[in-house]
Structure 1
Amino acid sequence: MDVETGDRYGNKRMHNRLGPSHPTSSSSSSAAAAAAAAVNDRANKVCYHWRAGRCNRHPCPFLHSEPPAAPDGVGASKRPNNHWRNPNAGPPSNWGKGRGGGAAGRAPAKVPDRPCKHFLAGNCPYGENCRFLHSWFVSDSFSLLTHLQGHQKVVTGIALPSGSDKLYSGSKDESVRLWDCQTGQCAGVINVGGEVGCMISEGPWIFIGIPNAVKAWNTQTGTDLNLSGPTGQVYALVVGNEMLFAGIQDGRILAWKFSAVGNCFEPAASLVGHRLAVVSMVVGGMRLYSGSMDNTIKVWDLATFQCIQTLSDHESVVMSVLCWDQFLLSCSLDQTIKVWAATETGNLEVTYTHKEEHGVLTLCGMHDAQAKPVLLCSWNDNSVRLYDLPSFSERGRIFSKEEVRAIQIGPGGLFFTGDGTGELKVWKWLAPNERSTS
C-alpha cells in the first residue's frame, strides 16, 4: 500500500497495488476503461468546492451547476437548507470565501480564543513571562487609544451627535455620561430615571429608550422632550423616512414624525406583528427591518406601514440587523450571522450563513483606513471579531471583561465599544504606514 501526500485541498489518497508492477495488455485495457469511467464519473458530479463558493480550478473536471432533480426525491441534495445556496444557477457568490483560508489559499493566522484572565483582572503574577496573551486585542490593523470608565453597569448605547464635541454613552445604571472628545474626561452625568435600553443620535438630536418612554434631546437648542406611548422597556431605536421608530418590549413598533411647527414629535403609526419584544431595527430604502425575541425578522413597507414578509430562519433571538450594499445581515443567539438577498420576486432569502461557537449580540459595519468594508461582531464569549466583507476573513479580535453590547463608529477611523462592566474603549484604524513592522 502506498500513501500519497496530501493534495492542495488537504485530501490524502491511498492506493492499493495488486498484481505485477508492469501490467499486461489486458490489465492495460482494464486500467484504461477504469480511467475513462472515472473521468465520466467526475463529469457527472457537482463540484464540492463550487457548492461552497470557492472553487479555483480552471478548468474544473466537475460540474459547476446543480443537476436536475431526480423523481421521487432520489438523489436529492442533503446539504442543509439556507447554507450556501446558489440561486438561479448563477456564478458562485463571494460570501464566505475567507472561511478556511486567506488570499491565495493561505490559512489565516491563529487568533487566541482568550487572553490571560489574570491580565484582564489587572493582577497577573507572571508579568511578561506569562504564556498567555497580555493584550486587549489581536490585530495590526487598529489600535486601542484609551479606556473611559465611570458607568456602573452595562453600556447599552453610544452616540456622537453632529455639531457637538462630546461623546454620549447610556447605561443600565440609569445614566447618560458626556465625554470630552479632546481630553477623554467625563464632562457630565445625567440621570434619566430608568435603565437605558438603547441610544442613538440623528443630526443634533439624541434619542434614549427607557421604560415606557423615549427621551429626545437637541444638543444645539437644549430642547428636552419626552415621547410617551411605549409599554415596557424600549430596546431599539432607528430613524428613517423622516420618522423615529422605537422597538418596544410588548412587541409593537411605534413611529413619530417631527413637526417643525410645534418643535415636537407627533405619533405617526403603530406597527403590530411581533409576538415578543422588538430588540433590533434598521432602515434600508423604503423598508424597515425588525428583529425580535420571537426569533423572526419582519419586513415593513414604510409607505403603508404593512408587514410584507416575515423571515423565520433564525432559531433564537434576532439580536441585530444591518443593511450592507444590497444585502441584509442579521445575527442571533443561535450562533449564526445570516446574509439575506432579494430574489426575482422581491422576497428575501438566505444566501449565506456564517456559523460560530457562540451567540452573536451586535453587528456594526464600517470602513477601515483603506476604505475596505469591515463587519464588527460582538459574541457572547466577551469578544468582538472583525471580518472583511464579503469574504468573512477574520481581521482581528477584541477582548473584554464582559459582553460588548454597544459598538459605534466615529469620524477619522475611530470606533467605540461599551461592555458589561460599564467601560468604554476608544479604537482607531491604522493606515498602512502606521502599522507595526515587527
Structure 2
Amino acid sequence: MDLDMDNGGNKRVFNRLGASSNQKVCYHWRAGRCNRYPCPYLHRESPSPSPFSGSSSSSNNNKSDDSGFAGSSNHRRGPGSANNSWGRFGGNRTVTKTEKLCKFWADGNCPYGDKCKYLHCWSIGDSFPLLTQLDGHQKVVTGIALPSGSDKLYTASKDETLRIWDSASGQCTGVLNLGGEVGCLISEGPWLLVGMPNLVKAWNIQTNVDLSLNGPVGQVYSLVVGTDLLFAGAQDGSILVWRYNTATSCFDPAASLTGHTLAVVSLHVGANRLYSGSMDNSIKVWSLDNLQCIQTLTDHTSVVMSLICWDQFLLSCSLDNTVKIWAATEGGNLEVTYTHKEEYGVLALCGVHDAEAKPVLLCSCNDNTLHLYDLPSFTERGKILAKQEIRSIQIGPGGLFFTGDGTGQVKVWKWSTQPTAIHP
C-alpha cells in the first residue's frame, strides 16, 4: 500500500474526494478490486457537486460475489477493521450493512475496512461469541464428537482423517488417517463410531479396541444408537443394525432394514422409535420393539437431511427449503402441524434450551449460514456465517457448541447464558 505522508499525499487524499481537476474514474474500482487507499482516481461514475457528498462511496461499490470462498482467515482482519470483535459489530458503523459475509475480509485482505458494506464478523447477535477456530481438516467436516467424560474433542472429515483436539488448549494432539472418506461420526459411552465406505469403524477410546463392522453397501452417511442397538444408514438405502454384546465387548449383526430406495442420510432415535430420512425424499418410522416400519412420511419434496425429536414432536429438514414439525394424531400416526420455510435448502438441525429453559433451534442452510431460532415462534435471535456450508453441529458442556463447515474449519462458540442440551 502506497501512503505518502508529505503534501503530495494530502493532495492525493483531496483528489480522491473529488476536488481535483483529475476526473478520471479508477478502472480497478469499476472492476470491484481497487486496493489503493488513498486512490488518485475517482471511485464514482461522475463528479459530485460537493467534495464530501461521496464520503462513503467506496462502501457502495463492492461488487464481489459472496460465494466460493477459499483459504483460511486465522482470525485475520482487513485494514481499518481493528475495532471489530468476534460475534458482534465493532466500532461506530455508519455504513448500512448487508447480511452477507465479506469474502475479502474472510481471507484477510478487504481493502475497504469499516466502509465495506458486507459483514466483517462471523456472526450476527451478541449472545454466542466465537471462542476459537480449529484449523487442520482439508475438506468438509462430517462429524464432531465430544465423548462424555473425555477431555478430547474428535472431528472427522471427507479428507479421510480423524483429528483429536485437547479441549483445554485447543491444540490438535493427533491425526488418524482412516484410508477412506468419513460420512459421519458419533460417540456413545467410550465408543467412537465412524461411518465409512462399506464399513463402520468402532474405536473404544478407553481400551483402544479397534473394530471394523462390515455389511454396509457404499458410504455410511448416518449413525445412531438406540438402547443396545447401533444403526447405520447406507448408500444403497438399507439400515444395518448391530447389537452390542457386553460379554464380548463386540457388536453382533442383528438385522438389515430395507424400504428406502435411495441412500439413508439421517437417523434419529426417540420415543421408542427409529426415524430415517433418505435421498428418496421420505421419512420412515420404525418400531424399536420389532424393527418393523410402521409409517412412511412423504411430505418433503427433496432429500431429508436431518431429524431430531423434541418432546412429543419430530422435526425434519430438507433441501426443499423447509423445516417440518410433526405431531402424533389420536391414531398414533405422525402428521405435519407446521412448516417453516427458508430461502435455501436446510442441511442440519440441532436443539438446545437456553438459561431460561426456552428452546432454541440451530438451523444450517446451504447459503453458508446457520440460523438460531426461538421456538415455537421461529423468531430469529442470531445468525452464524461461514465460508462454506455448515454440515456439522455439536452441543458441548458449559454452554459450548461447535460448527464444522465445508472448508474443514471447526469453530467453537459459547453462549453468554448457558443453555442445556436437548435429549430425546
TM-score by length of 2: 0.75
Corresponding residue pairs, total: 323
Mapped contact 2:97–2:118 kept (Cα < 8 A): no
Q: Which amino acid aligns with 1:262?
A: T
> For residues 159 and 232 of structure 2, what CA distance do their matches in structure 1 show?
21
Q: Mean alpha-carbon deviation: is it higher for 198-207 or for 120-129?
A: 120-129
Match of 1:117 in 2: 103
Q: Which of 142, 145, 157 is 2:143 aligned to?
A: 157
Match of 1:262 in 2: 248
> For residues 420 and 369 of structure 1, what CA distance do their matches in structure 2 show?
31
CA spacing shift, 1:123–1:111, aligned 2, 3 Å: closer
Match of 2:362 in 1: 376
Q: Which amino acid aligns with 2:294?
A: I
Residues 4-34 of structure 1: CA deviation (Å, up to 9, x unaligned): xxxxxxxxxxxxxxxxxxxxxxxxxxxxxxx
> For residues 149 and 244 of structure 2, what CA distance do their matches in structure 1 show?
20
SS of alignment partner, residue 363 of structure 2: strand
CA spacing shift, 1:360–1:246, aligned 2, 3 Å: same
Query: What aligned pairs does 1:80-91 form with structure 2 within 5 A after superposition?
Result: none
Query: What aligned pairs does 1:9-408 form with structure 2 within 5 A after superposition?
Result: 112-408=98-394
Task: Give 1:112 deviation, angstroms.
Answer: 4.5
Match of 1:24 in 2: none
CA spacing shift, 1:277–1:111, aligned 2, 3 Å: farther
> For residues 376 and 228 of structure 2, what CA distance do their matches in structure 1 show?
30
> For residues 335 and 301 of structure 2, what CA distance do their matches in structure 1 show?
15
The gaps in structure 2 that reach 5 residues or longer are 1-95, 419-424
Residues 202-240 of structure 1: CA deviation (Å, up to 9, x unaligned): 111110000000001111111111101111000000001
TM-score by length of 1: 0.72
SS of alignment partner, residue 217 of structure 2: coil
Mapped contact 2:139–2:157 kept (Cα < 8 A): yes
> For residues 322 and 288 of structure 1, what CA distance do their matches in structure 2 show?
11
Runs of 4+ residues over 4 Å off in structure 1 = none
> For residues 127 and 302 of structure 2, what CA distance do their matches in structure 1 show?
33
**Which structure has more helix as a fraction of its residues?**
1
State the structure with bigger RCO (CA 8 A, min sep 6), 1 or 2: 1
Q: Mean alpha-carbon deviation: is it higher for 312-321 or for 127-136?
A: 127-136
Q: Which amino acid aligns with 1:334?
A: D
> For residues 311 and 211 of structure 1, what CA distance do their matches in structure 2 show?
27
> For residues 327 and 403 of structure 1, what CA distance do their matches in structure 2 show?
27
Task: Give 1:126 deviation, angstroms.
Answer: 1.1
> For residues 98 and 374 of structure 2, what CA distance do their matches in structure 1 show?
18
CA spacing shift, 1:266–1:217, aligned 2, 3 Å: same
Residues 63-99 of structure 1: CA deviation (Å, up to 9, x unaligned): xxxxxxxxxxxxxxxxxxxxxxxxxxxxxxxxxxxxx
Task: Give 1:286 deviation, angstroms.
Answer: 1.2
Q: Which amino acid aligns with 1:191?
A: N
Q: Which amino acid aligns with 1:431?
A: T
Mapped contact 1:249–1:278 kept (Cα < 8 A): yes
Q: Does residue 410 of structure 2 align to residue 424 of structure 1?
A: yes
Q: Mean alpha-carbon deviation: is it higher for 316-325 or for 118-127?
A: 118-127
Residues 114-171 of structure 1: CA deviation (Å, up to 9, x unaligned): 1222112221111123232210000121110000000000000000112211100000
> For residues 336 and 359 of structure 1, what CA distance do their matches in structure 2 show?
7
> For residues 112 and 281 of structure 1, what CA distance do their matches in structure 2 show?
36
Match of 2:421 in 1: none
Task: Give 1:338 deviation, angstroms.
Answer: 0.3
Q: Mean alpha-carbon deviation: is it higher for 369-378 or for 195-204?
A: 369-378
Match of 1:75 in 2: none
> For residues 163 and 431 of structure 1, what CA distance do their matches in structure 2 show?
23
Structure with larger Rg = 1
SS of alignment partner, residue 411 of structure 1: coil
Of all paired residues, the percent bearing the same amino acid is 70
Mapped contact 2:313–2:326 kept (Cα < 8 A): yes
Mapped contact 1:111–1:397 kept (Cα < 8 A): no
Residues 243-278 of structure 1: CA deviation (Å, up to 9, x unaligned): 110000000001111111111000111111000000
> For residues 128 and 358 of structure 2, what CA distance do their matches in structure 1 show?
13
SS of alignment partner, residue 398 of structure 2: helix
